[in-house]
Amino acid sequence: MENDFQYERADFDGLWKDAIQRFFPQLIQRTLPELYDDVDFSREPEFLSKELSDSIQRPVVDEHNSPLFVDELIKIFLKDGRTEWILLHIEVQGSGGDDISFRMMLYCCLIFAHHRKMPVALAILTKRRPKDEIIGAYNLEQYGTSISYNYNCFEVYALDDDALLKSDNPFDLIFYAVKKTIGLSGKSKEEKKFAYLMQLTRLLASKGWGMEERRDIFNFIARAVNLKDRALQQKFTEDVEKTKGGESMYPLTFVDEYFINKARNEAINEGIAIGEERGIERGIERGKLEANLETARRLRNAGISDNDIHTFTNLSFDEIRSL
């Protein structure tokens, strides 16, 4: 049975980085509205976490002996011509790990030393921190020398459920999924995950957002909920197929596996039937090729990448691009 730390590591490393980059304006609008008003979104932000990771040797300070890192460091351009750009440091944290305020101050120092620029800092807290821990500030004083560092905190666990579900900000649905499913335990946790996933899927289908945007949010929600029970995965996928109304909101999770296998098997069976009707061995081979081509068409319509289509069908990239 995985513990909270293992779950959150998987959650942080994938879900959060992708979600922050995909819906960055919406995240800033929700968490730092004053900054949002000043950002020039006509200029693409620059995500600098890899650059920072490559250039700074970070100490290992986590109790689980896992190296901690800045979740995102982002160069943001402003409308104000006097201050052309700033750095935004975002750290996503659950209940585990060491003193987050000390860590936020430490990363501020590392970022300042590397870029000669103090970052705007935001800690996104998905679960309550220990009662004796001070969040939002780090203070240290000795013999007349002192440090006082304040940073922004956004407490996901304290958000109102109804407000999140009624919101027109896509990130609020991600916050809701994380809030309701992180830390679930007991025999019924998978059933609860299933219920939340169905609730959010139906709600998302009713939103007026574009198809690509809804599909991406669907992907993040499915990853955040992290449904593992195979029978419930099957039930969820079948329910989605019945209710999707001809539209494809495929998350890159177990739902993909179901639809890819189904499309491939249907197309192959159809192709083989065509070959058998012709009554010749060559017809069967042609039928298999037609099956792969049909599979590729369906996967492309579902938004699957050419690389993944190549993996599943063995078609050449020229054949895939010709569809």
- In the predicted model, is pLDDT for residue 115 greater than 50? yes
- Is residue 124 situated within a structural domain? yes
- Residue 171: other Cβ atoms inside 10 A: 23
Domain match, 126 and 45 both: yes
3-state secondary structure of 153: strand
**Global pTM exceeds 0.85:** no
- Is residue 169 situated within a structural domain? no
Domain match, 230 and 292 both: no
Please give the biggest Cα pair distance in the chain.
Answer: 93
- pLDDT for the residue 66: 41
Domain that holds residue 146: 4-158
- Is residue 164 situated within a structural domain? no
pLDDT tens-digit series, residues 41-82: 999 999 987 766 665 555 444 444 343 444 789 999 999 877
d(CA 193, CA 264) in angstroms, rounded, equals: 29
Domain match, 247 and 107 both: no
Domain match, 59 and 106 both: yes
State percent of the chain over pLDDT 90. 33
- Is residue 86 situated within a structural domain? yes
Domain match, 122 and 15 both: yes
State percent of the chain over pLDDT 70. 72
Mean pLDDT in residue range 284-306 = 71
- Which range is least confidently modeled, 11-25, 117-131, 299-313? 299-313
Domain match, 28 and 122 both: yes
- In the predicted model, is pLDDT for residue 134 greater than 90? no
d(CA 309, CA 323) in angstroms, rounded, equals: 12
Q: State how many domains the chain has.
A: 3
Choose the final residue of a domain: 204, 227, 251.
251
- Is residue 168 situated within a structural domain? no
Burial per residue of 131-143, b for 16 or more beta-carbon CB atoms within 10 angstroms, e otherwise: eeeebeebeeeee
- Is residue 311 situated within a structural domain? yes
Domain match, 61 and 205 both: no
Domain match, 247 and 276 both: no
Domain match, 73 and 153 both: yes
**β-sheet bridge partners, residue 139:** 148
Contact in structure between 284 and 254 (CB atoms under 8 Å): no
**Rounded to 10 degrees, what is the CA torsion of 98, 70, 158, 175?**
-140
- Is residue 176 situated within a structural domain? no
Domain match, 101 and 240 both: no
- pLDDT for the residue 56: 56
- In the predicted model, is pLDDT for residue 6 greater than 50? no
Q: Are strands 72-77 and 46-47 parallel, antiparallel or unpaired?
A: antiparallel
Question: Of residues 188 and 83, which shows the higher confidence score?
Answer: 188
| Averaged confidence pLDDT in the chain | 78
- Is residue 116 situated within a structural domain? yes
SS (H, E, C) 22-51: HCHHHHHHHHCHHHHHHECCCCCCEECHHH
Domain match, 11 and 154 both: yes
Domain match, 43 and 103 both: yes
